[in-house]
């Protein structure tokens, strides 16, 4: 498995160990990790700190040119907010752990020229499906359902 997807999964597992929703993400610029994060709805009582938003936040401030040479890794297909962040910053490529449990805005991303690479990792699928089976209300809260 790609090293950076491994880091994203490690973030997701850390979130799970904290009692959180197991979704992790990493922002990578030209092969260098800029920021890593995980969903922290439970840990920080935050509705907006999805894994991707947390990774972008932890990466700090950058000029547009940095994002335009970056790749965002995420263990789960990105929701509308996180896909919107990808579009806002002009991140040209996203690598997704899986989209079987949840299908985010991949079609919108592709329609705007973003390269979308879905790994369909059994580890990511098992992790999310076990979590949702155990905590369906928390999962629905996170995706506004």
- Please give the residue ranges that form the binding site for its own copies (CB under 8 A): 41, 45-49, 53, 56-57, 59-64, 67, 79-85, 87-90, 105, 108, 140-141, 143-145
Angle (deg, nearest 10), helices 51-58 and 80-89: 30
Contact 5, 97 (CB under 8 A): yes
* CB nearer its own copies, residue 12 or residue 21: 21
Beta strands 115-118 and 93-96 are parallel
Tell me which H or E stretch contains 137: helix 136-142
Contact 71, 90 (CB under 8 A): no
For this structure, is 11 an active site residue? no
Which position among 11, 52, 98, 105 bears the catalytic label?
Answer: 52
- How far apart are alpha carbons 6 and 11 in whole angstroms? 9
Contact 33, 27 (CB under 8 A): yes
Least distance from its own copies to the Cβ atom of residue 12, Å: 19
* CB nearer its own copies, residue 31 or residue 60: 60
* CB nearer its own copies, residue 76 or residue 121: 76
> Which residues are the active-site residues?
52
């Amino acid at each position: 498995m790609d090293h950076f997807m491994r880091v994203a999964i490690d973030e997701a597992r850390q979130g799970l160990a904290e009692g959180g929703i197991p979704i992790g993400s990493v922002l990578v610029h030209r092969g260098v990790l800029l920021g890593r994060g995980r969903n922290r709805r439970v840990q920080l009582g935050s509705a907006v700190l999805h894994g991707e938003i947390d990774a972008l936040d932890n990466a700090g401030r950058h000029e547009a040119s940095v994002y335009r040479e970056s790749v965002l890794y995420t263990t789960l297909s990105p929701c509308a907010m996180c896909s919107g962040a990808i579009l806002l910053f002009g991140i040209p490529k996203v690598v997704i752990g899986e989209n079987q449990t949840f299908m985010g805005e991949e079609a919108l991303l592709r329609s705007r020229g973003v390269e979308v690479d879905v790994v369909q990792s059994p580890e990511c699928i098992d992790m999310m499906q076990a979590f949702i089976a155990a905590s369906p209300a928390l999962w629905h809260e996170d995706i506004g359902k």
